[in-house]
């Protein structure tokens, strides 16, 4: 293809422009124009082009028991790991992604933070629609808090749909009581099913890794029913009272349909008295976090996340 796309509504960051140009040159279709299995296969292939994460001493897979059969997880721990536990819940619009696709990122978090990381393989839509994903995420978080951590400090990390599930699990834990969570890290979280913000309108055009039509596609596969979408478990923006939720780190990016709802959620958390650290990367796109080995802003975001995790888990 090799067209000049300088006139597109693209980030000015040269590293990100190189990523986007590569996608265009490879004729990679938008998510909404793909079938589910086709998309999953493509994501797996794209992940192969990312460098592997660092070595960690112990990697263990097991299943967290649930009333519906269990949730697969993978634990990463470095030698001399600190006492904290980090539960990582991957993104992918509740439709794509998984433990294997998140391996490099989880290795990085475990190595750099010095704490154990548990990656959650929750059930995916459309085979398992709402509330399967939030039920799985909640079950793992609750089990880790009550059984596995045994009083160790606990943090949750999620990106995109994974951040949506982090918020839902944290809210359920708050409501049950006696399941303390010391920090929630929310990277471009999905918080509002209404999809009517200015950032949704701005990015309702093809050309980025994720555009507004892609997000509508994800919602349609995860929760086709309008009434189910309008619930706090699906749309954290509808949680009436945010007081008592864990302290949060919330990261947004400038080129993302989800940017505005993330900013709004951070403002509501702060208004409810929840300590919030915010960071925006104005020239980054949705999905940039996985590019931490080649995009400096993504590397900076990972360093911020590690620093906040280290501080929260050490202080607890």
Indicate if 128 belongs to the active site: no
C-alpha separations of 91 from 7, 13, 273, 290 in Å? 30, 23, 27, 11
* Residue 294 structure tokens: 């080649």
2 has a pLDDT exceeding 90: no
Name beta bridge partners: 300: none
103-120 pLDDT, tens digit each: 999 999 999 999 999 999
Q: Which two tokens stand for residue 305?
A: 């996340």
* 209 in any annotated domain: yes
**Structural domain of residue 299, as residue ranges?**
30-315
DSSP 184-215: EEEES----TT--SHHHHHT-SSSSSS-HHHH
Strand 248-255 to strand 276-285: parallel, antiparallel, or no bridges (unpaired)?
A: parallel
pLDDT of residue 1: 34
Helices (H) and strands (E) in the chain, counts: 10, 8
Name the phi and psi angles at 69, rounded to 5: 125, -25
- Between 9 and 264, the higher pLDDT residue: 264
Ordered DSSP codes for 25-86: HTTPPPGGGS-HHHHHHHHHHHHHTSPPPPP-SEEEEEEE--TTS-EEEEEEE-TT--S-EE
**Among this protein's residues, is 115 annotated catalytic?**
no
Q: Which of 256, 260, 290, 297 is labelled catalytic?
A: 256
Pair of tokens at residue 82: 């600190």
For residue 8, what pLDDT band results from cuts at 50, 70 and 90? low
CB contact set of 156 (below 8 Å; sequence gap of 6+): 86, 87, 89, 141, 166, 169, 170, 181, 183, 184, 185, 246
Structural domain total, the chain: 1
* pLDDT tens, position by position, 227-267: 999 999 999 999 999 999 999 999 999 999 999 999 999 99
Residues 263-316 have pLDDT tens digits of 999 999 999 999 999 999 999 999 999 999 999 999 999 999 999 999 999 866
Q: Write out the DSSP string of 288-307.
A: GGGGTTT-HHHHHHHHHHHH
Instruction: Please check whether residue 188 lies inside any domain of the structure.
Output: yes
Query: How far is 254 from 82, CA to CA, in rounded Å?
Result: 34
> Is residue 21 one of the residues assigned to a domain?
no
Strand partners, 119: 74, 88
| 95, 131, 135, 252 from 67: Cα distances, Å | 22, 14, 11, 36
256 classed as catalytic: yes
The answer to whether position 93 is within a domain reads yes
Residue 24 within any structural domain of the chain: no
CATH number at residue 152: 3.40.50.1820
pLDDT value of residue 159: 99
**Percent of the chain clearing pLDDT 70 (strictly above):** 96
For residue 78, tell me if it sits in a domain. yes
pLDDT in tens, 193-221: 999 999 999 999 999 999 999 999 999 99
* Catalytic choice (90, 193, 221, 286): 286
Q: What is the mean pLDDT of the chain?
A: 95
Tokens 């509740």 belong to: 94
Q: How far apart are CA 201 and CA 37, in angstroms?
A: 28
Is 141 a domain residue?
Answer: yes
Q: Annotated catalytic residue: which of 102, 160, 199, 235?
A: 160
User: Is residue 152 a contact partner of residue 180, using CB atoms and an 8 Å limit?
Assistant: no
pTM across the whole model = 0.96
Nearest to 133 by CA among 68, 192, 188: 68
Flag whether 258 is in a domain: yes
């Amino acid at each position: 293809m090799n067209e000049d796309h300088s006139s597109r509504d693209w980030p000015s960051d040269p590293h990100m422009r190189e990523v986007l140009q590569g996608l265009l040159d490879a004729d990679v279709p938008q998510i909404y124009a793909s079938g589910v299995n086709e998309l999953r296969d493509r994501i797996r292939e794209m992940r192969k082009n990312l460098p592997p994460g660092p070595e960690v001493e112990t990697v263990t897979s097991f299943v967290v028991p649930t009333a519906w059969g269990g949730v697969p997880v993978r634990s990463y721990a470095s030698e001399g790991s600190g006492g904290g536990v980090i539960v990582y819940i991957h993104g992918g619009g509740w439709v794509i992604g998984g433990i294997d696709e998140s391996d490099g990122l989880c290795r990085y978090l475990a190595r750099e933070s010095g704490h154990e990381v548990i990656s959650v393989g929750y059930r995916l839509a459309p085979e398992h629609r709402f509330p399967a994903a939030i039920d799985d995420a909640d079950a793992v978080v609750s089990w880790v808090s009550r059984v596995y951590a045994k009083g160790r400090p606990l943090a949750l990390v999620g990106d995109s749909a994974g951040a949506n599930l982090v918020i839902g699990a944290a809210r359920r834990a708050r409501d049950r009581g006696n399941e303390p969570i010391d920090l929630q890290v929310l990277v471009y979280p999905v918080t509002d099913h209404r999809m009517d913000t200015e950032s949704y309108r701005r990015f309702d055009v093809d050309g980025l890794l994720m555009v507004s039509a892609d997000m509508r596609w994800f919602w349609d596969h995860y929760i086709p029913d309008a009434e189910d979408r309008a619930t706090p478990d699906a749309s954290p923006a509808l949680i009436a009272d945010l007081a008592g939720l864990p302290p949060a780190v919330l990261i947004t990016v400038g080129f993302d349909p989800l940017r505005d709802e993330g900013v709004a959620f951070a403002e509501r958390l702060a208004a409810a008295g929840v300590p919030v650290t915010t960071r925006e990367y104005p020239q980054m796109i949705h999905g940039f976090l996985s590019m931490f080995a080649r995009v400096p802003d993504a590397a900076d975001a990972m360093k911020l996340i590690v620093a906040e995790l280290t501080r929260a888990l050490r202080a607890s």
